[in-house]
Chain A
């Protein structure tokens, strides 16, 4: 059982380039999330999706976009990367979102460096 998988695990990206971080889960979870984690700060929500076909903005959405065409996949795109987007990105999923308190399961993370 894979759970939730992110790709790539790490990436060095030139500023101004476009980049898509991939996230796939096989748990049939309705809700999926993208967080960034920076030293000294808590996990910050970028975008979320409570169910396939819907997405919402989190705390720090600027410069990022997401899509949720199906239950399993939730890619995160940086349209034009900037150095401040250097971070560790975690994708997560939970059985329900928006109305039920359930634990979140995390992918292994993508370490992105924008130079």
Chain B
């Protein structure tokens, strides 16, 4: 079956760095997405990786290793507004998104 695993919850301190991991097993691979979802709101797009390596976008970076079925989202200089759930999703061979359950990130002052 298809599976996306990510930690349920993480806690970090304002100003610090946090890495949220995602491992996947899917039928085919056509890219990996990271979304941010604040409580009670819709998910919003953060990043997309289809080739191995690091994609940097401001304070956020996303890494992909296809051979290991592994990705991480790196958040630097954490701000209180970064408190949210972070969703990992893989596009499979049918171009359908398979979603992880999300990682709830709690930022403490």
Interface residue from B42, B45, B94, B101 paired with A103 (Cβ < 8 Å) = B45
Chain B 59-91 near chain A by CB (<8 Å), digits 1 or 0 = 000000000000000000000000000010101
Report yes or no: B48 in contact with A103, Cβ–Cβ below 8 A: yes
Q: How many chain A residues touch B (Cβ–Cβ < 8 Å)?
A: 22
Q: How far is the CA of A107 from the CA of B31 in the complex (A)?
A: 22
Are the CB atoms of A44 and B99 closer together than 8 Å?
yes
Q: A97-B95, A98-B95 are in contact. Are A104 and B45 (CB under 8 A)?
A: yes
Contacts of A74 in B (CB 8 A): none
* Interface assignment of A48: CB less than 8 Å from any CB of chain B: yes
Inter-chain contacts of A100 with B (CB < 8 A): 95
Give the contact-size bracket for chain B: 20 to 34
If A106-B42, A106-B43, A109-B42 touch, whether A58 touches B96 (CB-CB below 8 Å) is yes
In Å, the complex CA distance between A85 and B98 comes to 20
Q: A42-B99, A48-B96 are in contact. Are A108 and B30 (CB under 8 A)?
A: no
Chain A interface (Cβ < 8 Å from any Cβ of B):
35, 40-45, 48, 58, 90, 97-101, 103-109
8 inter-chain pairs at a CB distance below 8 angstroms, sorted by A residue, are A43-B87, A45-B96, A58-B96, A101-B48, A104-B33, A106-B42, A106-B44, A107-B42
